[in-house]
Amino acid sequence: GESVGLHLPTLSVQEGDNSIINCAYSNSASDYFIWYKQESGKGPQFIIDIRSNMDKRQGQRVTVLLNKTVKHLSLQIAATQPGDSAVYFCAENNYGQNFVFGPGTRLSVLP
Amino acid sequence: EAQVTQNPRYLITVTGKKLTVTCSQNMNHEYMSWYRQDPGLGLRQIYYSMNVEVTDKGDVPEGYKVSRKEKRNFPLILESPSPNQTSLYFCASSLRQGSHEAFFGQGTRLTVV
């Protein structure tokens, strides 16, 4: 069949700058939100999660913010490095049911 | 090393020729699932299994079969592959359904001509 190019949202940042990757979710009943990172040629890898009763959660160089009013999730990466170049997926989970993944955002880190 | 192993990594086949993609995990996880990843569509779940001998359809199960005879293995079977099943496939496992950290395999790129 005909191949279709990737239509991912893209974000390009300079090395050392902070990155903010955004995600809109659909199910207001979801109780957990998760971020995954997928490097080229690899499977997705868990980064961080946040429960729906929280607004913010911090990990190592990453912070996830949750705005339930507008059903928006963001992933902030501090001091972005070349190794952060990847596709980032948000996913929502509804009380133990299966994950629903977003389409992903491609992050490119410029030297 | 804790991991999910898929085989093969790459496969080109012809329409109608049955194939199996294997998946094995060494973490004693109860929950395993298969996803396909297509440009612009993200990851869509094909089938999942909550434990041995328990499988269920995901969002896009048509044209696929799975089995879970052992806890560690969860093969994906395409009885009669068609070109619209050309995709990148991922197997994943987690401790149980709803666990937030899923472990993914390296992926299998399938082309059906």
Give per-residue pLDDT as tens, A1-48: 332 334 578 999 999 999 999 999 888 888 889 999 999 999 999 999
**CB-based contacts of A86, cutoff 8 Å, min separation 6:** A37, A38, A39, A40, A106, A107
> How much helix, strand and coil, in percent to the nearest 5, is found in chain B?
5, 50, 45
Which residue type sits at B74?
Answer: F
Res A104 pLDDT > 80:
yes
Token output for B32: 């395993």
The least confident of A75-79, A99-103, B78-82, B102-106 is A99-103
pLDDT of residue A96: 64
Q: Are A46 and B90 within 8 A, CB to CB?
A: no
Among B100, B108, B110, most A C-beta atoms within 10 A, so best to mutate, is B100
Does B13 contact chain A (CB < 8 Å)?
A: no
Q: What is the pLDDT along chain B (113 residues), one digit of tens a residue?
A: 889 999 999 999 999 999 999 999 999 999 999 999 998 788 999 999 999 999 999 999 999 999 999 999 999 999 999 999 999 999 999 998 778 789 999 999 999 99
Res A77 pLDDT > 90:
yes
- A109/B40 Cα distance (integer angstroms): 21
Res A95 pLDDT > 80:
no
Q: Are A4 and B40 within 8 A, CB to CB?
A: yes
Which residue matches tokens 């197997």? B91
Average pLDDT over residues A85-105: 86
Q: Where are the alpha helices (DSSP H) in chain A?
A: none
Among A21, A99, A105, most B C-beta atoms within 10 A, so best to mutate, is A99
Output the CA torsion A40→A44→A48→A53 (10° steps). Answer: 130
pLDDT of residue A2: 32
Q: Which residues of B touch A46 (CB under 8 A)?
A: 100-103
Q: Are B107 and A103 within 8 A, CB to CB?
A: no
- Chain A / chain B CB contacts < 8 angstroms: 65
Of residues A34, A45, A103, nearest to B42 (C-beta): A103
Token output for A104: 């992903």
- Side-chain half-sphere of B42: how many Cα atoms within 13 Å? 18
pLDDT of residue A6: 42
